[in-house]
Amino acid sequence: MPTFPSVEWFEAIRQLVNNDETFRRLGTVDARVGVKVGDKLYEVTFEAFECTGVKEIGEHDLRDLDFWLEQSPDEWRAMLENIKSHGSADLTFTLNTIDLNRPEGFAKSFDGYKRDTFYRFNQSLQHFFDVSAKIDTKFAAAARA
Amino acid sequence: MAEESAAPTIEIPPDLAERAKAVGWPEDLVIMLLGRGAQPPDLVRYMSMGVTAEQVREFVAQQEAGGGASPMPTTQLDLSWMNVPTEWGTRAKPTKKGLTLDAINIGRYGDVPDVWEYKTEMPRGAVATTGVEAMGYTIYEKQELWADNAADLYEEAIQRRWRPASDVDWASLQPLPDDLERAICQICTHFSEKGQLEADVIAGWEPELSYGYHEIKLYLATVVFEGARHAEVFRKRALSNGGGLGIQNTGWSFRSVTDARNFTEFIAIQMVLQDSFTLTQYQLCEARMPQAAEKLLFRLAMQDTARHIAYGIAHLKYVLLNRPERRLELQRYLDKGEAMLIMDEKDTATREAFAILLAGGKDKIQEGLKLYEALRRRQVEQYLERLRWATLDRGTHLNGALRAYLPPEEETA
């Protein structure tokens, strides 16, 4: 059972979406997306019809990303548990809903053009996280901020 | 009278004459070609491709033999087209996304000129046929329409297209309280109108854009389709859950789009200002819609509109980097667009409908109106952030009514 957050967890999701006809049917995605969980940072790269890579990164790498998704470990856990229990995000836990409900924002970027890739590829990104309903996730206590 | 009817003297532009001499094209040949309507940049291109004077004479002779008003007997062949001096031997390679527009922009086919010289529908990289009638294009300068991301956005739009009829689970919609259903239907009426307007106006601009910039024409064709898709999907939502259409929009902000006299003006107002504000409204609707099917349709609509903005701000950036003297002109277009956008506040129906959706019911509409003000702040902030990326700081130009939505420290940022 992969632990969230970890490269292993994102790799498991990557494998699932790359073999998922629904993900491919949503169309091409070109984005370097960061996932920030407490002090842990990961880069998930999408190219054409695939998720092409996952790696752990540092704060100084954030500028190279199109945008990153940032919330506390507890908030990430709530989102992923909601997805697991409903099979996909329910009304209150879609990526856009979280973004709109957080005054400090959820999708962040240093670049006004790149940040919009969050909207351009939104359904694919939503699908990426929704696929996590298919795996059992263990949550890292150490990741709690 | 005799002087008036004499054929005009054809002069060879000095640069062309020099180039012709260097490659051995005699003056009489160049004059003959110019007399037939050949454009100097064409001739320079053929010269630089190594086409000899003899090949040109042979090609012209073949065209003459095969041309004329009388149709050629079907048994007689005219194969002059097989000697056309285009760049031959091109072998574009598919990418991970397939054979994209960028992938075929190779060799001279990928040269996008700053000024397109042809008035016909000749594809970029083909050889012009003399005597073809003009198409009536009016935009021939790259800076008037270009955005570096247009080819990619075209491919993205094609790959990420969606089908309102079957991608949205319409059958899953459940009856809603009357006030909420009315609010959603009013909002959908507004968005359906907006989508149709965007499609109509862009379709009107397409015949103005010359053929040399096909990446832009193709991308905008997808925007026309997406405008139609939005008109379709929001109409479908209004008519699918026990409600119906609402009241028409006052249409103030539409006028700044329909009245634009210049393509960059139109793009600045429609695909930067208006679409930026619409995208924030879609975000809000996605977040607040009470059913999964509705949330999905707004997520999908968000994707389309975000692409429109990507083209819009990339075009503004291109203009500002290549024609910095147009900066104040762009500010004025936005001044006008913002002023008309503010007039939309007179559309109480849409504002109140948003307030009901935001608060969750008519009984909490006052609370919803406050939330609507917060939405306005997000709209203005995102709009200004995008303009800053395009190197345009609205600063003191920003309409006072929009500035009022910003916290004090952001007002002139």
Q: Tell me the pLDDT of chain B averaged across its residues.
A: 91
Say whether residue B385 is in contact with chain A using an 8 A CB cutoff: yes
Q: Please list every residue in chain A whose beta carbon sits closer than 8 Å to the beta carbon of residue B300.
A: 123
DSSP E strand boundaries for B184-280: none
A144 domain-assigned: no
Q: Please list every residue in chain A whose beta carbon sits closer than 8 Å to the beta carbon of residue B97.
A: 28, 48-49
Q: How many residues are present in chain B?
A: 413
Q: Please list every residue in chain A whose beta carbon sits closer than 8 Å to the beta carbon of residue B283.
A: 96, 99-100, 119
Closest in A50, A112, A120 to B386, CB measured: A112
The reply to whether omega before A5 is within 30° of 0 (cis) is yes
| pLDDT value, residue B243 | 97
Characterize the bridge pairing of strands A31-37 and A67-71: parallel
Distance in Å, alpha carbon of A112 to nearest chain B alpha carbon = 5
- Segment B126-141 shows an average pLDDT of 91
Q: Please list every residue in chain B whose beta carbon sits closer than 8 Å to the beta carbon of residue A97.
A: 286-287, 295
Q: Compute the distance between CA of residue B392 and CA of residue B394 in angstroms, rounded to an integer.
A: 6
Closest in B284, B295, B299 to A91, CB measured: B295
Coil/strand/helix, residue B312: helix
Say whether residue B376 is in contact with chain A using an 8 A CB cutoff: no
Q: Please list every residue in chain A whose beta carbon sits closer than 8 Å to the beta carbon of residue B161.
A: 27
Q: Compute the distance between CA of residue B170 and CA of residue B234 in angstroms, rounded to an integer.
A: 12
Overall number of domains in chain A: 1
User: CB neighbours of B103 closer than 8 A, spacing ≥ 6?
Assistant: B92, B93, B94, B95
Predicted confidence band at B74 (pLDDT cuts at 50, 70, 90)? low
Q: Do A123 and B309 touch (CB under 8 A)?
A: no
Q: Do B386 and A123 touch (CB under 8 A)?
A: no
Q: Are B298 and B131 in contact (CB under 8 A)?
A: no
- Segment B140-146 shows an average pLDDT of 97
Q: Compute the distance between CA of residue B193 and CA of residue B258 in angstroms, rounded to an integer.
A: 13
C-alpha distances in Å from residue B13, one per residue of B20, B44, B51, B374: 11, 11, 19, 61
The label of the residue with tokens 């959603």 reads B184
Angle at A38 between CA A35 and CA A44, to 5 degrees: 15
Amino acid at A80: L
Amino acid at B303: Q
Q: Compute the distance between CA of residue B237 and CA of residue B167 in angstroms, rounded to an integer.
A: 13
- Segment B23-29 shows an average pLDDT of 91
Q: Do A119 and B306 touch (CB under 8 A)?
A: yes
Where chain A has pLDDT below 50, the residues are 143-145
Structure tokens belonging to residue B204: 């009107």
Q: Mind listing the domains of chain B with CATH numbers? A: 12-68 (no CATH), 142-410 (1.10.620.20)
Distance in Å, alpha carbon of B154 to nearest chain A alpha carbon = 12
| pLDDT value, residue B33 | 87
- Segment B293-316 shows an average pLDDT of 98
Percent residues over pLDDT 70 in chain B: 94
Which of A97, A101, A119 to probe the B interface (max B CBs under 10 A)? A119
Predicted confidence band at B69 (pLDDT cuts at 50, 70, 90)? very low
φ and ψ at A31, to 5 degrees? -160, 145
C-alpha distances in Å from residue A22, one per residue of A50, A128, A130, B100, B263: 12, 10, 12, 22, 38
Q: Do B287 and A101 touch (CB under 8 A)?
A: yes
A143 domain-assigned: no
Q: Are B235 and B188 in contact (CB under 8 A)?
A: yes
Predicted confidence band at B346 (pLDDT cuts at 50, 70, 90)? confident
Q: Kindly calculate the radius of gyration of chain B based on its CA atoms and give it in whole angstroms.
A: 27
A141 domain-assigned: no
Q: How many residues are present in chain A?
A: 145
Q: Compute the distance between CA of residue B132 and CA of residue B120 in angstroms, rounded to an integer.
A: 7
Say whether residue B172 is in contact with chain A using an 8 A CB cutoff: no
Q: Please list every residue in chain A whose beta carbon sits closer than 8 Å to the beta carbon of residue B284.
A: 100
The label of the residue with tokens 């006028």 reads B255
Q: Do A115 and B96 touch (CB under 8 A)?
A: no
Predicted confidence (pLDDT) per residue in B231-246, tens digit: 999 999 999 999 999 9
**pTM score, two decimals?**
0.88
Number of other residues whose CB lies within 10 A of the CB of residue B143? 16
**At residue B123, does pLDDT exceed 60?**
yes
A73 domain-assigned: yes
Q: Are B59 and B84 in contact (CB under 8 A)?
A: yes
Q: Complex ipTM above 0.90?
A: yes
Q: Compute the distance between CA of residue B266 and CA of residue B261 in angstroms, rounded to an integer.
A: 7
Predicted confidence band at B356 (pLDDT cuts at 50, 70, 90)? very high
Predicted confidence (pLDDT) per residue in B168-213, tens digit: 999 999 999 999 999 999 999 999 999 999 999 999 999 999 999 9
One DSSP character per residue, A115-141 reads GGHHHHTHHHHHHHHHGGGGS--EEPG
A145 domain-assigned: no
Higher pLDDT, B412 or B150: B150
Predicted confidence band at B6 (pLDDT cuts at 50, 70, 90)? low
Helix or strand holding residue A62 (H, E): none
A89 domain-assigned: yes
At A106, which CATH number? 3.30.1050.10
Say whether residue A104 is in contact with chain B using an 8 A CB cutoff: no
B61-65, B82-86, B364-368 — which one is most confidently predicted on average?
Answer: B364-368
In sequence order, what are the beta bridge partners of A71? Answer: A37
Which of A25, A86, A100 to probe the B interface (max B CBs under 10 A)? A100
Amino acid at B297: L
Closest-CA residue of B relative to A90 is B292
Q: Compute the distance between CA of residue B340 and CA of residue B337 in angstroms, rounded to an integer.
A: 5
**At residue B68, does pLDDT exceed 50?**
no
**At residue B247, does pLDDT exceed 70?**
yes
Distance in Å, alpha carbon of A142 to nearest chain B alpha carbon = 31
Q: Do B303 and A113 touch (CB under 8 A)?
A: no
Predicted confidence (pLDDT) per residue in A116-132, tens digit: 999 999 999 999 999 99
Say whether residue B21 is in contact with chain A using an 8 A CB cutoff: no
Predicted confidence (pLDDT) per residue in B389-399, tens digit: 999 999 899 99
Q: Which domain covers residue A112, as residue numbers?
A: 3-136
DSSP E strand boundaries for B45-86: none
Q: Do A119 and B283 touch (CB under 8 A)?
A: yes
